[in-house]
Structure formats: structure tokens, C-alpha cells
Amino acid sequence: MITGKTLVAGVVGRPVAHSLSPVLHNAWLATAGIDGVYVAFAPDAMGLERLANGFRGGAIRGVNVTIPFKEAALKIADRASPLAKAAGAANLLIFDRDGKITADNTDGAGLLGALAVQAPTWDVHNGPVTVLGAGGAARGAVAALLAAGAPKVWVLNRTLAKADAIAKSLGSRVLPLPYAHAASALQQTTAVINATSAGLSGDGALTLPLELTHPSTVVMDMVYKPLETPFLAQARALGRPTVDGLEMLIRQAIPSFEAFYGARPPSDTDVRALALKVLNP
Ligand code: NAP
């Protein structure tokens, strides 16, 4: 039941109608019996700041932020966590009672959480990691992997200058590499993480010689629509352990839920099954 005390939070993106976040958060709220609601907002291209300014002082508790607003979200915040600063982007804004906006980035927690759940024997400390892409998601992934203790992270991107920029801001453990030289990284890496939008809803898939990787190399795709991207299908056919983008989405939502509603999501709600029903009606 919605009451006068209902805690309101949501997600801001454009487009946002396809977002699975309302499905996850509202299912957790219902099971936990929390008087709260989670809704979607789609401001126009310049509208994030106006929307966020309207919520200052706690008109609503906070919002998750998705494409294309993650970098703008960090810029409008008054305070930011070290991970959001390192990622150069925020996927979580909290509207504090003092009128300030605090930015955080839980995508890194989502990435590491998904690896822990679906590839439990993989250890970030054990060797180099390869990240494909150099957009906002890749930058966040690299920052989180470094903070978790990855000894070295190769960043492969079509536009090499963007990979160079990540190395420049995140330090000497980051090594930019063109796709043409992927073989040397693939032969040594313990995990390959696709943080490009290739493979999204049937878009041009990545073609990478995954057969060069060690049989224990974990292959992860952040894209979850389709759940089995051509990239993950290639890895599965080679027998590599795989991690999907839906698990990352669920794991990044957990700290967001805690920040909005002050409680851990109930563990007995199968939000993955619910999300799969929405993805494959
Ligand atoms: P972005 O900033 O637009 O960056 C897109 C990246 O993909 C760029 O590095 C781009 O390379 C690369 N790219 C696009 N098409 C490509 C292709 N056909 N071949 C090779 N590279 C290609 O996007 P983003 O915010 O980083 O997001 C990237 C993906 O991660 C999106 O699909 C997003 O939905 C997903 N994501 C998932 C989660 C989750 O929880 N599962 C969280 C965050 C993001 P250039 O620089 O050369 O153009």
C-alpha cells in the first residue's frame, strides 16, 4: 500500500522504459514489507540537473542513473565516493536532508559480485584481467578491479585514445591495447570482461579469438539483452566459465536498495527469475 510515509526512489535514464531496475526493487520492497516504491524517470537530454535539483533536500530518497546520464550525474553531485570519482561516473545519487547530493558508483560492486556468484573460484589477485571497451562501464570496471587488487588490467578499445585516457587517469597497472594485439593479452588473462555495447539486442557482435585463452579463463559480458550474447555463446562453446550481465545488474542493485530504504534486500526473493520472465515473456 502507498501511504503518506512511502519512501520513493527510482531510476533516471533515456530511454528508461526497458529498465529492469523497477522490477528488482519493487519485488524486494514487497517481500520485505517496506513502505516504499521505485519508479522510472526519463528527462530530456538536458533535464537531469533540473530533475535532481528538484529532489534536493530529500523530496525523494535517491535515484539510480543509467545511460546517458552517468557522467553528468557525477558532475552535478556535491560529494562523491572514491569509486565514483575513479570511475568518472555515478549510477547512484542520494538526496541528503542537508540539500546536498551524494554520488556513488555501485557498478563495480555489481561486477565483482557477479563474478563471485557465477565464477566463485576466480580470484582477482591471481593474474591480469582484460576489459573490452573504454566507455563509462569499462572505466568503472577497471577502477573496481584495481581497487579489488587486480595486478594488471588490459583495456582494449576500437578508439585507442579512450583506453589511453583510462590508463592516464587510473595509473600504471592499466595497459591500453588495440584489438589487433589482443592475442598477447588473451593468452595470459584470467578473465575477459565485455564492457562494450557490442552484442546488445543483436547489434554487431565482438569477434575475438577466445580459443587462445586458458581453459580456466572466465568470460563475462555486461550486456544482458540477450542474456546469452554471441560473445558468451562463443565462450560456452569453448567450455570457458561464463558470467552474465543480469547477475551484474542484480548485484549493483543491492547496495542501491540499502542506500534508498535502509535495509538489505530480502534474500528469499528470486529477482533473477522475475527479471528473466520480463526479458523473455
Ligand atoms: P558507452 O560509454 O557508450 O561505451 C560503449 C563502448 O562500446 C565504447 O568503448 C565503444 O567503443 C564500444 N563499442 C560499441 N560498439 C562496438 C563494437 N561493435 N565493437 C567494438 N566496440 C564497440 O557505454 P557504457 O555506458 O560504457 O556501457 C557499455 C555496455 O555495458 C552497455 O551495453 C551497457 O548496457 C552495459 N552495462 C551493463 C551493466 C549491468 O549491470 N549489466 C552496467 C553498466 C553497463 P568506441 O569507444 O571505439 O566507440
Boundaries of every domain in the chain: 7-106+248-279, 120-240
The beta strands (E) that lie in 42-186 are given as 62-65, 79-80, 92-95, 101-104, 129-132, 153-156, 174-177
Residue nearest to ligand 1 atom 19, measured at CA = 198
Residue 8 cell numbers, joined: 520513493
Q: Can 277 be counted among the known catalytic residues?
A: no
Q: Which of 177, 196, 201 to mutate to test the pocket of ligand 1 (most atoms within 8 A of CB)?
A: 196
Please report which confidence band the pLDDT of residue 207 belongs to, taking 50, 70 and 90 as the band edges. confident
> Domain 7-106+248-279 class?
alpha beta
Per-residue pLDDT of 219-229, as tens digits, reads: 999 999 899 99
For the CA of 199, the nearest atom of ligand 1: 18
69 Cβ closer than 6 Å to some ligand 1 atom:
no
CATH of range 120-240; options 3.40.50.170, 3.40.50.300, 3.40.50.1010, 3.40.50.720: 3.40.50.720
Atom 38 in ligand 1: residue holding the nearest Cα:
222
User: What pLDDT digit, counting tens, does each position of 9-28 carry?
Assistant: 999 999 999 999 999 999 99
Q: Are 7-106+248-279 and 120-240 in the same CATH fold?
A: yes
Whether 262 shows a pLDDT value over 80: the answer reads yes
Task: Tell me if 162 CB under 6 Å of ligand 1.
Answer: yes
For ligand 1, whether the C-beta of 136 sits within 6 Å is: yes
Tell me whether residue 175 is exposed, middle or buried, using C-beta atoms within 10 angstroms of its C-beta: 0 to 12, 13 to 18, 19 or more: middle
